[in-house]
Amino acid sequence: MVLQAAARLSKLWVPNGGIAATAAEDGHSKLIRAGFLRQSHSGIFHLLPLGRRVQDKVEGVVSRHMEESLSASRVSLSSISTEALWEKSGRLQNVASELFRFSDRKDVAYLLSPTHEEEITALVARAVKSYKELPLRLYQITRKYRDEFRPRHGLLRGREFTMKDLYTFDRSLDSATETYHSVRTAYSEIFSELKLPVLAAKASSGDMGGNLSHEYHLPMPLGEDQVVSCSKCDYAINEEIANVRVREEASPGAQLGIWRGISKDGSTLVNVWYPRSARQPGSADKIRDYSDKDINISAVRSIVPDLVVGVEGIQSLWSAALGSETRTATRLLNIVDGRLPLSLSDKIVGELGMSAWPEGLNLPEPPLAVSVHAGGGQEFGPLNLLRVRDGDRCSQCSSGTLNVRRAMELGHTFLLGTRYSEPLNAKITIPPSTSGIPMQMGCYGIGISRIIGAVAEHLADRRGLNWPIAIAPYSCVIVPAREHEGDALEVYQTVIRDLGTMEGQFDAIIDDRRATLPWKLTDADLIGFPLIVVLGREWRTGKRVEVQCRPLGIKEAVTISDLPQFIRNLYIQL
């Protein structure tokens, strides 16, 4: 093996001075202090050499699985798209508030792409015409842009970010579904290699479209989603669409709660009726209390899709919808939680509903059409309008209970069907028919830069970052005392000669910066090198190095002849 010149930290720009640690320092702050990145503008960051190495390694892991596991071809699409194309797909207005938009000198309207479904579909529509050219799998790793209203948590919620997108095109829904499950398997392998305990949770497709999607979540306190998982089976789902078996009963004499809403057009006023307390099954004395904050907005939206949420002063909206000159309301919809008896429905239509009319509002003339929704689905039983809590019964198995955890989304998969291929005319011909049929599509994202921020937050401890060895900036750092800097090259060459050919990406670097040994060891912990080889007192007295592995809690003196095998064993465990 021909040895390359040794990598040296003195040759790498690692700005790490002038920033003091704080008592409540989070992972993002450690990335800044350790010299991985710097903020340029709100929600926008420059990656420095160490950060660039981590991102390159994340991209390498993801690319390998895209190409080896899925036979996907890599492309690089422009970050610029046209508003006309997004209007053609019908998506522009739904996401307009999050887009960076601009016009050229000819007043053509453009945008910086937050995602590339329109562009990739238009590209394939022009190039692929026959079913014989499918299946087609194309991926890219590129920068994306989203005009976040409130950027936060560094790389976890920025305005510029790096993503991997995979777009698949199949001739039939069955083939596309098979592709979907193949990608899910590849995603599981990717996160396993990165040593991240990711939950794959069923999710809503939202504005992206399609009727099947999964999110890939890393449980962490800074997460912006709530993920529900079962203690017994593999059921996992985003809380927004989670349901549970309603087995609680309203406590005798329990007070009724009323949550109010309104449709966007003001035609439908909404009352959601629920118990202020309910008794858990099998327990005569275990009572749960509920309030308006426990209302599952997604469940209500399944009945009233255009429900207005997040608005204070709902009563003023009701007043406007009932005004003599501004009246838009024609219906009062009462939705009843399954914990309440069905007999309550009749009372709501009658005297109970009228007595619960909002204070200060008079009954409208002419009267509204009053209706009650108190049913449920066969799968889940009575309608559940309250958010899932820890300990609720699983809807998929008979014995499991649900855990609710805050988590950060790292990836998302969508089976799109013909959501984009149909409006953008991406069609193929299948003989004997001569008329084209829309291709069946899927799109699959992984947040590359978000993984960096999430790993930093998830694995950091009080001493510094803790990178999984697959994506660490360097697998190993060799830290010599000043009087042993000349010997560090011998140790480096011994390690690289034996381990440089290992399957994976083992690499090492010498910390030859002009600083004291204690300072360099502290900095090595902050940067988060998985393996640290120290030439200090042990080297001076017995030609032994000290190997430190913080993730495994190891600190041991090793002779140079035993060093390669010792590191090899640690590498396998990491």
Which pLDDT score, from 0 to 100, does residue 363 have?
78
Assess whether 470 and 439 both reside in one domain.
no
Assess whether 204 and 121 both reside in one domain.
yes
- Of residues 287 and 170, which shows the higher confidence score? 170
Assess whether 322 and 256 both reside in one domain.
yes
- Per-residue pLDDT of 324-335, as tens digits, reads 888 999 998 888
The arithmetic mean of pLDDT across residues 368-391, rounded, is 73
CATH number of the domain residue 193 falls in: 3.30.930.10
pLDDT classification of 392: cutoffs 50, 70, 90: confident
- Which region among 245-249, 375-379, 565-569 has the lowest average model confidence (pLDDT)? 375-379
Average pLDDT, the chain: 89
204 has pLDDT over 70: yes
- Per-residue pLDDT of 10-68, as tens digits, reads 999 999 877 888 888 999 999 999 999 999 999 999 999 999 999 999 999 999 999 99
Assess whether 238 and 253 both reside in one domain.
no
The arithmetic mean of pLDDT across residues 336-355, rounded, is 72
The arithmetic mean of pLDDT across residues 204-212, rounded, is 76
Which pLDDT score, from 0 to 100, does residue 378 have?
45
pLDDT classification of 88: cutoffs 50, 70, 90: very high
Which of 455, 490, 519 terminates a domain? The answer is: 455
Which pLDDT score, from 0 to 100, does residue 569 have?
93
Which pLDDT score, from 0 to 100, does residue 21 have?
84
Which pLDDT score, from 0 to 100, does residue 340 have?
82
- Per-residue pLDDT of 427-455, as tens digits, reads 999 888 888 999 999 999 999 999 999 99
User: How many domains is the chain built from?
Assistant: 3
Which of 318, 351, 373 terminates a domain? The answer is: 373
Residue 487 lies in a domain: yes
Residue 181 lies in a domain: yes
- Which region among 289-293, 365-369, 480-484, 515-519 has the lowest average model confidence (pLDDT)? 365-369
Which pLDDT score, from 0 to 100, does residue 3 have?
57
Assess whether 289 and 428 both reside in one domain.
no
pTM beyond 0.75: the answer is yes
Which pLDDT score, from 0 to 100, does residue 244 have?
64
- Which region among 68-77, 248-257, 433-442 has the lowest average model confidence (pLDDT)? 248-257
Assess whether 226 and 253 both reside in one domain.
no
Which pLDDT score, from 0 to 100, does residue 303 have?
86
Assess whether 204 and 125 both reside in one domain.
yes
1 has pLDDT over 60: no
Rounding to the nearest 10 degrees, give the CA dihedral for residues 427, 429, 433, 438. Answer: -20
Which pLDDT score, from 0 to 100, does residue 552 have?
95
Which pLDDT score, from 0 to 100, does residue 17 have?
75
Assess whether 232 and 264 both reside in one domain.
no
The arithmetic mean of pLDDT across residues 1-16, rounded, is 83
37 Cβ contact list (under 8 Å, min separation 6): 31, 45, 46, 47, 48, 51, 154, 155
Q: Report whether 475 contacts 530 (CB < 8 A).
A: yes
Query: Angle at the Cα of 86 (from 81 to 91), degrees rounded to 5?
Result: 135
* Surface-to-core class of residue 22, CB atoms within 10 Å of its CB (0-12 exposed, 13-18 middle, 19+ buried): exposed
Give the three-class secondary structure for 553. Answer: coil
243 has pLDDT over 50: yes
- Of residues 439 and 343, which shows the higher confidence score? 439
Assess whether 109 and 194 both reside in one domain.
yes
Which pLDDT score, from 0 to 100, does residue 354 have?
63
> Dihedrals φ, ψ of 401, to 5°?
-115, 160
- Which region among 244-258, 407-421, 529-543, 549-563 has the lowest average model confidence (pLDDT)? 244-258
The arithmetic mean of pLDDT across residues 270-286, rounded, is 74
pLDDT classification of 285: cutoffs 50, 70, 90: low
The arithmetic mean of pLDDT across residues 108-134, rounded, is 96
Assess whether 67 and 166 both reside in one domain.
yes
Which pLDDT score, from 0 to 100, does residue 281 have?
58
Residue 442 lies in a domain: yes
Q: Report whether 272 contacts 285 (CB < 8 A).
A: no
Structural domain of 306: 249-373
pLDDT classification of 361: cutoffs 50, 70, 90: confident
Q: Give the C-alpha distances (Å, rounded to integers) separating 22 from 45, 152, 422.
A: 21, 18, 54
Tokens 């060459």, located at residue? 493
173 has pLDDT over 90: yes
The arithmetic mean of pLDDT across residues 464-482, rounded, is 96
280 has pLDDT over 70: no
426 has pLDDT over 50: yes
Assess whether 175 and 196 both reside in one domain.
yes
Residue 397 lies in a domain: no
SS (H, E, C) 136-202: EEEEEEEEEECCCCCCECHHHECCEEEEEEEEEEECCHHHHHHHHHHHHHHHHHHHHHCCCCCEEEE
Residue 142 lies in a domain: yes
The arithmetic mean of pLDDT across residues 82-88, rounded, is 96
Q: Partners of 414 in the beta sheet?
A: 213, 443
CATH number of the domain residue 479 falls in: 3.40.50.800
Q: Report whether 82 contacts 91 (CB < 8 A).
A: no
The arithmetic mean of pLDDT across residues 171-182, rounded, is 96
The arithmetic mean of pLDDT across residues 279-285, rounded, is 58
Assess whether 119 and 207 both reside in one domain.
yes
Which pLDDT score, from 0 to 100, does residue 372 have?
83
283 has pLDDT over 60: no
Q: Report whether 46 contacts 38 (CB < 8 A).
A: yes
Which pLDDT score, from 0 to 100, does residue 395 have?
74
Which of 411, 432, 455 terminates a domain? The answer is: 455
Which pLDDT score, from 0 to 100, does residue 530 have?
97
Residue 129 lies in a domain: yes
Residue 443 lies in a domain: yes
- Per-residue pLDDT of 227-239, as tens digits, reads 998 888 888 888 8
Residue 395 lies in a domain: no
